[in-house]
């Protein structure tokens, strides 16, 4: 059999945020950009938000008219009208430009985004979504037809309309991209990309050329179109996303490239192959002396790896990897303590195991720290240090109890996340 030399056409998922569709000029710019890219042979699926502030207007109208007593299920049905209108306008505009297109409404029998019934903040049932997309959307994309899908909107298995909540349209785009095997997700917003600082606070923030999802989820919302961590849960690590400004009217415009992805489940691992130590420095007002913190951190760096750092007004705790140079490190830290009037003494606890619990959506799982600490308490395993960071919890327990602690934590979290 002769091997085919036909190369698969470029395939992308494009998501337009509400500001990018706020008026007829922006709508025309969006449709023109899609049509221009399609003319190059690119296979495209489009996800659209409600135009401008339509969702806010619908929300306020529903709440005010009902005296704030509208049920969540009814509210979702109302809020979905914004996206359901957008898909019809965008599809009509694409057809007017001679581009074959079809919109997907949540009441269509082949609607792809299936969710649970957690109204106003529904969670997509990813496996069912992928099955539906590959069955009903993929054949159209392969034929060059542009499907236009309502973002932010879902449907329960028994046919009720839901909304996905913050980041809902981005979540829709990421799920589509994964199911379609897309080369890229293009997120069209009113921002230049992900910025280095809030432009409302800093006069000239820099656009980040590239950012990993782990860094992104740990950043504060800069006031630009930040990608919500719930949406990032659905991003395929192998498919990059690009945040661009709608004003360019070009789907190939420069922006911020978002790389990587998260595990969808909670992971629990012993994060260090060798024991760790905690070094506690006590004094008075040490948190008000950043130079002391910097000096101690640089001292650690010269001898070993820093695993974590905790600071309050009167103490600093350094979590470090034990090694051959630990005694030398302790001598240097002691010398630093004696040089500063704010620091008085130090203590050390060695032979600790560093355990890391991580997973996107971790901070949205209520009571997770309680589950961990309670199961360890019941089994008489002390926690000698605990740090919480966005999407991760770092714990330090006795080195000899690391395997027992690891298994107990896994058991306590089993079934605790959707």
Q: Tokens 């056409």: give the residue.
A: 9
Per-residue model confidence (pLDDT) at position 360: 61
Q: Is 397 exposed, middle or buried (0-12, 13-18, 19+ CB in 10 A)?
A: buried
Name 203's Cβ contacts closer than 8 Å, sequence gap at least 6.
Answer: none
Q: Name the β-bridge partners of 57.
A: none
Beta strands in 120-237 (DSSP E): 146-150, 153-156, 161-163, 184-189, 210-212
- Are 247 and 277 members of one domain? no
In terms of DSSP bridges, do strands 276-283 and 267-270 run parallel, antiparallel, or are they unpaired? unpaired
Least Cα distance to 270 among 410, 170, 384, 148 occurs for 410
Helices 72-96 and 54-65, axial angle in degrees (round to 10): 150
- Are 67 and 195 members of one domain? yes
- Are 198 and 230 members of one domain? yes
Which of left, alpha, beta for 120 (phi over 0: left; psi -120 to 50: alpha)? left
Helix/strand/coil for 254: coil
d(CA 330, CA 322): 11
The parent domain of residue 222 ranges over: 11-259
Counted domains in the chain = 2
Per-residue model confidence (pLDDT) at position 221: 42
Residue at which a domain ends, from 238, 259, 280: 259
- Are 390 and 333 members of one domain? yes
Instruction: Report if residue 67 sits inside a domain.
Output: yes
Instruction: Report if residue 392 sits inside a domain.
Output: yes
The verdict on pTM exceeding 0.75 is: yes
- Are 286 and 195 members of one domain? no
- Are 199 and 285 members of one domain? no
d(CA 175, CA 122): 14
Two tokens at 125?
């049932």
Q: Is 252 exposed, middle or buried (0-12, 13-18, 19+ CB in 10 A)?
A: middle
The enclosing domain of 388 has a CATH number of 3.30.2130.10
CB 76 within 8 A of CB 62: no
Name 41's Cβ contacts closer than 8 Å, sequence gap at least 6.
Answer: 9, 10
- Are 186 and 43 members of one domain? yes
Instruction: Report if residue 5 sits inside a domain.
Output: no
Two tokens at 220?
């504060």
Instruction: Report if residue 117 sits inside a domain.
Output: yes
Two tokens at 230?
């719930």
Two tokens at 91?
């599809």
Two tokens at 291?
């130079």
Q: Tokens 């860094």: give the residue.
A: 215
DSSP letters along 93-148, please? HHHHTT--EEEE-TTSTT---EE-S-TTS--B-HHHHHHHIIIIIHHHHHTT-EEE
Per-residue model confidence (pLDDT) at position 371: 86
Q: What is the pLDDT along the chain (418 residues), one digit of tens a residue?
A: 444 455 779 999 999 999 999 999 999 999 999 999 999 999 999 999 999 999 999 999 999 999 888 999 999 999 999 999 999 999 999 999 999 999 999 999 999 999 999 999 999 999 999 999 999 999 999 999 999 999 999 999 999 999 998 889 999 999 999 999 999 999 999 988 988 877 777 888 899 999 998 788 766 444 444 677 788 889 999 999 999 999 999 999 999 999 998 765 677 889 888 999 999 999 998 888 889 999 999 999 999 999 999 998 899 999 999 988 899 999 999 999 999 999 999 999 999 999 998 776 566 666 788 888 999 999 999 999 998 876 788 999 999 999 999 999 988 877 544 3
């Amino acid at each position: 059999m002769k091997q085919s030399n036909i190369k698969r056409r470029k395939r992308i998922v494009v998501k337009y945020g509400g500001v990018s569709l706020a008026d007829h000029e922006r709508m025309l710019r969006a449709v023109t950009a899609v049509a221009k890219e399609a003319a190059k042979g690119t296979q495209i699926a489009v996800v659209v938000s409600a135009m401008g502030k339509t969702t806010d207007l619908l929300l306020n109208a529903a709440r005010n008219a009902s005296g704030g007593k509208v049920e969540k299920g009814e509210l979702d049905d109302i809020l979905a009208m914004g996206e359901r209108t957008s898909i019809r306008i965008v599809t009509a505009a694409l057809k007017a430009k001679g581009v074959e297109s079809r919109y997907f409404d949540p009441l269509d029998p082949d609607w792809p985004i299936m969710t649970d019934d957690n109204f106003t903040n529904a969670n997509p049932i990813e496996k069912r979504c992928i099955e539906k997309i590959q069955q009903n959307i993929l054949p159209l994309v392969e034929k060059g037809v542009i499907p236009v899908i309502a973002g932010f909107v879902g449907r329960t298995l028994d046919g009720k309309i839901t909304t996905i909540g913050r980041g809902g349209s981005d979540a829709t785009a990421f799920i589509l991209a994964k199911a379609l095997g897309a080369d890229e997700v293009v997120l069209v917003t009113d921002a230049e990309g992900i910025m280095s600082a809030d432009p409302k606070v800093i006069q000239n923030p820099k656009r980040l050329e590239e950012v990993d999802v782990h860094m992104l989820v740990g950043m504060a919302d800069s006031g630009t179109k930040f990608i919500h961590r719930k949406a990032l849960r659905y991003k395929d690590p192998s498919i990059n996303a690009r945040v661009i400004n709608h004003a360019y009217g070009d789907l190939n415009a420069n922006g911020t490239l978002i790389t990587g992805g998260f595990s969808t489940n909670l992971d629990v691992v012993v994060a260090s192959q060798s024991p760790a130590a905690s070094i506690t420095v006590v004094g008075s007002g040490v948190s008000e002396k950043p130079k002391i913190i910097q000096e101690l951190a640089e001292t650690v760096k010269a001898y070993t790896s820093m695993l974590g750092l905790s600071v309050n007004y009167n103490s600093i705790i350094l979590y470090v990897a034990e090694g051959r140079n630990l005694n030398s490190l302790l001598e240097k830290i002691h010398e630093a303590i004696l040089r500063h009037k704010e620091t008085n003494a130090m203590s050390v606890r060695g032979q600790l195991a560093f355990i890391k619990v991580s997973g996107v959506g971790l901070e949205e799982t209520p009571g997770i720290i309680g589950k961990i600490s309670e199961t360890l308490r019941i089994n008489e395993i002390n926690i000698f240090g605990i740090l919480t960071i966005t999407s991760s919890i770092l714990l330090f327990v006795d080195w000899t109890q690391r395997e027992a602690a690891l298994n107990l934590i896994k058991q306590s979290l089993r079934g605790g996340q959707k």
